[in-house]
Amino acid sequence: MSVVARIVKTMPEATTDPTPPRPRSAIRSLLRLWPYVRPIRGRLTASAVAAVLASSVALLIPLVLKWIVDGPVVDHDPSGVWLGGGLLLLLGLLEAGLFGMRRWLVARPLASVEASMRADLFRHLQRLPVAFHDLWASGQLLSRATMDLQILRMFLAFPLVFLVVNGATIVLGFAILFTQAWTLGLMLLLPILPLVILCSVFEARYSLAARTAQDQAGDLATLVEESVLGVRIIKSFGRHRSQAEAFRGKAHGLRRTELHKARLLSDIWALIMTLPEVAIGAALVFGIMQVSDGELSAGTLVAFLTTALALRWPVESLGFLLAISNEAATAADRFFEAIDAEEADASGIGSYLDSDSDSGAGAVSGAGAEAAGTADGLRFEGVCFRYPDAPENTPDLLHGIDLHIRPGETMALVGATGCGKTTLTALIPRLHDATGGRITLDGADIAVLSRQRLRELVAVAFEEPTLFSATIRENVEMGAGPDGVDEAAVLRALEIAQCDFVARLPHGPDTQVGEQGLSLSGGQRQRLALARAVVGRPDFLVLDDPLSALDVHTEALVEAALREVLADSTALVVAHRPSTVLLADRVALMSRGRIAAVGTHHELLRTNAEYRHLMSGDSERSVA
């Protein structure tokens, strides 16, 4: 297969990605980096000027050689040769110094640009709702925050400057060539048109290969992360071979794409190097004939050929610079895909992404404004919800939820598996936004509360607790407000959650827990999550079956201590056990996305058959 045929060969099948690549202009993609580059534009421009000056100095060397050959060499003047040699040495040192200055000008600022972009991406990901993260693999986000930003930094440090520098060098070099021997200069211009055509074909093919490789790298990172976090399951079920096969499959797919990129780059580089070399060879033959005929001096031919050879790197680097530029454009696309998620999902995310300031905290409209700040408890008024990716013809998961939890009251939420209990509790801290109706806290609509204010009012503890790679103290303090809590509050929260095991750890509350808290048992993680929820003495407390992993004895101790906290909060507790239900003042029975009944535990036992089935453990029949 010819080199040209390989360049236009069909791309391999792309990997699955939540936002498939669209046709785009590489220049337009890279221009989006301007807000990050603007603060260092002065140093970036200075580095480009230094590099252009260095290239210009290099182009002076052939002129000095011409003077040496046509002057001191022809005249047999040794002192002139030494003078010319010294001048060449000075020009070489000046060129090296200018290139060193270019590197010094951009090294630290570009590291700051990368850090700023990474910080913006991380901050934006933290602000996006759970619905966004449900659709994106963590490895894809990780690769955007690491590998893609490294590619962009490399582009800003080298290809961006040298696309300008090499362009200026080529223009200046050809001007020198034409002033020395215009007929030979025309011969060197002949390869330009085919090179432009081949580079445009290469750019289109290579950009697709770069996008595929970066997406596959993200998929591979996701697989590695899941295998590490799920290593206990993999070992327990003996699935290490299947995981290894999955890894090999993705790694080999990435390898094939990288080899495809290498073939494309080698093909275009071979063409870019071959055509100019042929032109230089032809110019050399023609120039020797002119020197032999006396139409051209030997010094002029030496200067011409030296200048032409000095232009080899600027011309031959085009393929390399185009490859890095296309990878950078792809990396910029992937970076801004995550940054643009706010606009792409504005229908369900916009209100969640309000400013962090308190300018809108507590502001409501209509009747809610009058009630804001009054003790009205927690209200659900006609609340409906469906996931953004749910098929259009499917019913809402939650529909017509009307529920009032009075100030200081604890309400248990009971229902069969899959009825929507956890989804309903996730609407209160706005992990998801209700698609209909409204939820109010003491009369204030949570849709217009700032996130900071909402997080100050509401604390949550989930059935599946998540801990971070930090100390126990730091994990618990995450549940406190922006002002933090003192040591006494942390110890009180640990006591309420019956975290007596903390005292037996090597460093007590300052003991580091492993990633996801996997160094602790399930019950220990759940108790720490409960301590995190109660440490800030929240006004509203949402507990999603927080005691499911505890043994009966520990559960009784936690419940006894928890009553003190619940007495000072308005709480909604998802419950599956009668012992947890007894913590509540009233019980709401949820069935098929609706509130089927509300009453005390004993009232519902007497009047509601489905509730009796649930409390007796006959949940299978209640679902039917």
Q: What is the DSSP string of 298-322?
A: HHHHHHHHHHHHHTHHHHHHHHHHH
Say if residue 309 is in the same domain as residue 407.
no
How far is Cα 439 from Cα 458, in angstroms, rounded to an integer?
Answer: 13
Residue type, 446: I
Say if residue 363 is in the same domain as residue 307.
no
Over its C-alpha atoms, the chain yields an Rg (Å, rounded) of 35
Tokens of 305: 């050929």
Q: How many CB atoms lie within 10 A of CB 75?
A: 9
pLDDT top residue among 26 and 507: 507
| Three-state secondary structure readout of 532-550 | HHHCCCCCEEEEECCCCCC
Say if residue 404 is in the same domain as residue 456.
yes
CA-CA-CA-CA torsion sign (283, 286, 287, 288): positive
Strand order from edge to edge, sheet including 436-441? 398-405, 378-385, 436-441, 444-445
User: Residue 68 domain-assigned?
Assistant: no
**Is 544 in contact with 590 (CB distance < 8 Å)?**
no
78 Cβ neighbours under 8 A, 6+ residues apart:
72
Say if residue 261 is in the same domain as residue 404.
no
Tokens of 397: 């998961």
Q: Of how many residues is the chain composed?
A: 624
45, pLDDT greater than 60: yes
pLDDT value at residue 517: 66
Say if residue 231 is in the same domain as residue 360.
no
Say if residue 337 is in the same domain as residue 241.
yes
Considering only 302-316, 428-442, 530-544, 580-594, which range has the smallest mean pLDDT?
302-316
User: Residue 50 domain-assigned?
Assistant: no
How far is Cα 355 from Cα 353, in angstroms, rounded to an integer?
Answer: 6
Which is nearest to 558 in space by CA: 502, 517, 488, 499? Answer: 499
Confidence bin at 20 (pLDDT 50/70/90): very low
User: Residue 98 domain-assigned?
Assistant: no
Q: What pTM value is reported for the model?
A: 0.63
- Look at the chain and report how many structural domains it folds into: 2
pLDDT value at residue 342: 66
534, pLDDT greater than 60: yes
Q: For tokens 């085009």, name the residue.
A: 318
Say if residue 491 is in the same domain as residue 464.
yes
How far is Cα 142 from Cα 218, in angstroms, rounded to an integer?
Answer: 7
The percentage of residues in the chain with a pLDDT greater than 90, rounded to a whole number, is: 7
Say if residue 256 is in the same domain as residue 377.
no
Q: Tell me the per-residue pLDDT of 322-364, one tens digit each, with 9 for 90 and over.
A: 778 888 888 888 888 888 876 434 333 333 333 343 433 333 3
530, pLDDT greater than 60: yes
3-state helix, strand, coil in the chain (%, to 5): 65, 10, 25
User: Residue 278 domain-assigned?
Assistant: yes
Domain boundary among 308, 343, 378: 343
CA-CA-CA-CA torsion sign (32, 37, 39, 42): negative
Say if residue 424 is in the same domain as residue 319.
no
pLDDT value at residue 374: 67
Q: What is the CATH number of the domain that holds 596?
A: 3.40.50.300
pLDDT value at residue 586: 93
pLDDT top residue among 66 and 585: 585
- What mean pLDDT do residues 35-54 have? 82
Considering only 65-69, 175-179, 443-447, 578-582, which range has the smallest mean pLDDT?
65-69
User: Residue 61 domain-assigned?
Assistant: no
Confidence bin at 614 (pLDDT 50/70/90): confident
Say if residue 331 is in the same domain as residue 367.
no
CB burial of residue 585 (10 Å; 0-12, 13-18, 19+): middle
Q: What is the CATH number of the domain that holds 311?
A: 1.20.1560.10
Q: Which domain does 332 fall in, by range?
A: 20-39+115-343
Say if residue 603 is in the same domain as residue 477.
yes
Tokens of 525: 């993680």
Q: Tell me the per-residue pLDDT of 93-111, one tens digit each, with 9 for 90 and over.
A: 887 887 787 777 777 787 7
pLDDT value at residue 362: 36
How far is Cα 130 from Cα 164, in angstroms, rounded to an integer?
Answer: 43
Which is nearest to 547 in space by CA: 571, 513, 581? Answer: 581
How far is Cα 543 from Cα 376, in angstroms, rounded to an integer?
Answer: 20
Instruction: Convert 261-299 to b/e letters by CB count within 10 Å (16 or more is b).
Output: beebbebbbebbeebbeebbeebbeebeebeeeeebbeb
Say if residue 288 is in the same domain as residue 361.
no
244, pLDDT greater than 70: yes
